[in-house]
Amino acid sequence: MKKVISLLLVSMLVIGLMAGCGSTAANPAPAASTVDSAAPASTPAAEATAAAPAEKAKITLWYYWENKDHQSILAGLCKDYNASQSNIELTTEYTPFADFKKQLSIGLAASKLPDLVLIDNPDMAAYSAMGLFADITDKVSSMPSLSQYFDGPLNSCKLDGKLYGLPFGSNDLALYYNTDMLTAAGVAVPTTWDELKVAAKKLTGNGVTGLGESNVKTEEGTFQFIPWLISAGGDPTKVDSEAGIKAFTLISDLVKDGSMSKESMNWVQSDVLKQFMAKKVAMMINGPWQVPTLKSDAPDLKWSVALIPKDAKYASCLGGENWGVVNGKNVDATVDFLKYITSDSVYMSYIGKFGYFPSRKDLAADKQWTDDPIYKVFVDELNYAVPRGPSPKWPELSNAVSQALQEVITGSKTPEAAAKDAQVTIDAALKQ
């Protein structure tokens, strides 16, 4: 009954949007036809029918990565899969991160959806509860690799014990810094909040801000705020606590003294990277997926990474995407692709190129990550990384946090007032 109510609510929310929004998803094609090779062909017509190639199942993948390198790698993987077999044809469609969940909701209400999505892992439970994803528990239970997944990433694909997809990869956040800028300013790599505030201020000036991060009103903003909240001893379900107010105050203070640009409220994580590569930001909070782009697009830039400076304790946020199998006509064909893309050799051929870590224990122990001085920091940071959810209510919680973050950056509310109002929204969501 709850799933029905959730679907009705989604329909009511998006019905006004549908008149101006066209679906970008391809209609699912019928499953590939098969011919019984044991049946006798008694007529020339029957022989012609038997010789005709089977119709391909056409499946569509939606994703939101704005990084051009990531888009290119994904396109190559899909091309390789299509070439590896003759029964299924996979195509991809890009939707900006800010619009991604809206398009899923519209598609759910209008029954116009893709067959597969790459979705931020904390959003998986909410859409599973709405009926977007198919239960594939029995379809993948025989996969030998299933037992190798880390509990956190795999559990983010589950709801009520049922599996609705598989982890794509895992990541977290750390502090990037321009080594030349820190040396010129006589600044040591900060390890605490107090050191961070001093360093950011010294590094600010002449068109440069000391620290940059994504503070947009989406999951990206919440994702980047969580480490500050956890480091202060806070909890995403109790943002009006002393620790929550302290975390919002840190961001407010950095913006007020110019150490962090107010424009960061409009920056996605790739925008922060561009600022860092252009030497307009001396330090940034970002993830390992940016490493390949930094190395290829800014080969002369001198930089390194460190743990995110701490308050009461070190903290980071567990990130990553999941492959979510949409509940439709092409579930079996979609699962076939999942088995291909998560096979050992294929998985290891691409996951590092995205700047992600494998969500599997056996593959994460590879020297590709443990022997690399940059990736090793992110691996160490995983010891302090907390997951978001999983909870069907996470989207409401996340929206409340990112809204409060915007309010303290603009100064429209004090950290105390923003945290208090966010808590009202969070409490109401958790009571539903």
Q: Which residues of the chain are under the pLDDT cut of 50?
A: 1-50
Give the H/E segment covering residue 190: none
CB atoms within 10 A of CB 55: 13
Residue 233 backbone zone (phi > 0: left; psi -120 to 50: alpha; other: beta): left
Q: How many residues does the chain have?
A: 432
Question: Could you tell me how far CA 428 lies from the centroid of its own chain?
Answer: 26
In this prediction, residue 97 carries a pLDDT of 87
Q: Is 389 helix (H, G, I), strand (E, B) or coil?
A: coil
Residue tagged 């009103």 (tokens): 217
Structure tokens at 230: 């956890």
| pLDDT at site 98 | 85
Instruction: Show Cβ contacts of residue 408 under 8 Å, excluding neighbours closer than 6 positions.
Output: 248, 249, 251, 252, 255, 414, 415, 418
Question: Across the chain, what does the average pLDDT equal?
Answer: 88
| Token pair in block for residue 351 | 């996951």
pLDDT digits (tens, 9 = 90+) for 84-141: 999 999 999 999 988 999 999 999 998 899 999 999 999 999 999 999 999 999 999 9
Nearest-angstrom CA–CA distance, 388 and 316: 11
Residues of the chain with CATH 3.40.190.10: 57-170+319-384, 174-317+393-431
If one looks up domain 57-170+319-384 in CATH, what number appears? 3.40.190.10
Q: What is the dihedral angle through the alpha carbons of 361, 366, 372, 374, rounded to the nearest 10 degrees?
A: -20
Q: Output the six-digit token pair for 383.
A: 């010891």
CB atoms within 10 A of CB 196: 23
The two beta strands, 174-178 and 158-159, are unpaired
Strand partners, 59: 90
**Token reading at 278:** 């252009």
User: Distances from the Cα of 33 to the Cαs of 37, 51, 56, in angstroms?
Assistant: 13, 12, 8
Provide φ and ψ at 237, rounded to 5°.
-90, -5
CATH number of 174-317+393-431: 3.40.190.10
